[in-house]
Amino acid sequence: MANVGIFVGSSTGATQEVAELLEEQFEGAELINMEEDFDDLEQFDDFDVLLIGSSTWGQGDPQRDWVDPIMELESETPDFSGKKVAFFGAGDQDTHGEEFVSALVKFKTLFAQLGANTEFGYWPTEGYTYKFSAAEKDGKFVGLAIDKINQEDLTEDRVSSWASQLKQEMGL
C-alpha cells in the first residue's frame, strides 16, 4: 500500500480539521502540520501520495505556514516524479468569494512543475456560491473545496466522498 502524507497549513483550524478527517480515511497516513511538524523538504520523500492542504488568504495566497516551504520548493526544485498529489483547502465563499480556494491552483502548478502527477481529486463546483476561483478548471475545482463557515454541515460528507474518489483514482 502507498504511504500517504497529509501536509497542512491552517490558521483558523478549518483546514486542520479536514486534514484530521482525511487521516481517518487513509489507514496509516501521517499528518504533518506545516507549523509544528515540518522540518525540511526531505519529509516529502517519505511518501508516495501527498495530500496538500491550505486555506486561501488575501488575493489567493496559501496559508502563511506554507510560505517558506514553497520558496524552498521553487528554489531547490526537487524531483517529485512518481508521486501522486491531490489538494484540499478551506475558504469562505460568501465573505471572500472573489478568490475562493484559489491557493489550490498555486500548489497544483508548483507540484506539477516538480514532476508530480497532480491530476487527482478534482471536485465539482456545484453547490458553491463563490464569485471567482482561480482553482476552477473545466467546471471543477483542482481539489477539494471546503467552506466550514457557510456549509459546515457538508464538510464530513465532502471529505468522505473525496477520500473515496482519491482511493479509486489513485488505486489505493
HEC per residue, the chain: CCCEEEEEECCCCHHHHHHHHHHHHCCCCEEEECCCCCCCHHHHHHCCEEEEEECEECCCEECHHHHHHHHHHHHHCCCCCCCEEEEEEECCCCCCHHHCCCHHHHHHHHHHHCCCECCCCCEECCCCCCCCCCCEECCEECCEEECCCCCHHHHHHHHHHHHHHHHHHHCC
Q: What pLDDT shows up at residue 170?
A: 97
The domain of 120 spans 4-170
CATH number at residue 46: 3.40.50.360
Is the confidence at residue 9, as pLDDT, over 80? yes
- CA 111 centroid distance within chain: 11
Number of domains observed in the structure of the chain: 1
90 alpha-carbon distance from chain centroid:
9
Show the cell assigned to 9.
Answer: 497549513
Alpha carbons 109 and 167: distance in angstroms, whole number: 22
Using a 10 angstrom Cβ sphere, with 0-12 exposed, 13-18 middle and 19 or more buried, the burial of residue 46 is exposed
Taking the model in full, what pTM does it have? 0.96
Question: Grid coordinates representing 54?
Answer: 491550505
Averaged pLDDT of the chain: 96
Residue 90 has a pLDDT of 95
Contact 21, 66 (CB under 8 A): no
Share of the chain above pLDDT 90, in %: 96
Please enumerate in sequence order all residues whose Cβ is within 8 A of that of 52, keeping only pairs 6 or more positions apart, or say none.
Answer: 7, 8, 85, 86, 87, 88, 107, 111, 143
How confident is the model over 97-122, as pLDDT tens digits?
899 999 999 999 999 999 999 999 99
| pLDDT at residue 2, rounded to an integer | 83
Q: Is the pLDDT of residue 1 over 70?
A: no
